[in-house]
Amino acid sequence: MKEHTIFIIEGNDIASYASIEDAQLDLEVIDVEDDIYVGYDHEGRLLKLGVDGKKKRLVITLAENKPSHAKELEALIRTYLEQVGEPVPNDPAYDLPYLIKVWNEFLGNQRWWKRLRK
């Protein structure tokens, strides 16, 4: 399984993707236009989700160069993992890179995910 490094948040749900291209293919243009998603890369940089007006094609780019949202993404991943029964200690040693590693292991252990990968 490819490591998921793009995180799209919708309310309390997290979808993750191995690349920006994968996210662009999966997300719905109408939902992006309705501004229901928040996106981050694996370093905690905010992503800008938009729509190419003429082609109605989803476009995702970096909204910032420095990862100023790493703590926010950490908290979102930690909360989600706790809600699905995969708690991670609330300890600074369990930082964003560690949480992403746990996230990818969690995805790899999901039966539905394994069925989709075949």
Gap between the Cα atoms of 47 and 19, Å rounded:
12
Gap between the Cα atoms of 118 and 80, Å rounded:
26
Reading the chain (118 residues) residue by residue, the pLDDT tens digits are: 577 899 999 998 999 999 999 999 999 999 999 999 999 999 999 999 999 887 788 999 999 999 999 999 999 999 999 998 888 888 888 999 999 999 988 887 764 444 444 4
Gap between the Cα atoms of 7 and 114, Å rounded:
19
The pLDDT of residue 90 is 83
> What residue spans define the domains of the chain?
6-62, 70-117
The pLDDT of residue 107 is 83
The pLDDT of residue 95 is 94
What are the structure tokens assigned to 105, written together? 């292991």
The pLDDT of residue 18 is 93
Q: Report how far apart, in Å, the C-alpha atoms of 19 and of each of 59, 66, 94 are.
A: 13, 19, 24
The pLDDT of residue 4 is 83
**Residue 85 exposed, middle or buried by CB count within 10 Å (0-12, 13-18, 19+):** exposed
Contact 6, 41 (CB under 8 A): yes
The pLDDT of residue 1 is 54
The pLDDT of residue 97 is 95
Distance from chain centroid for Cα 34: 18
Q: Report how far apart, in Å, the C-alpha atoms of 18 and of each of 1, 9, 22, 41, 87 are.
A: 9, 15, 7, 10, 23
What are the structure tokens assigned to 64, written together? 């910032």
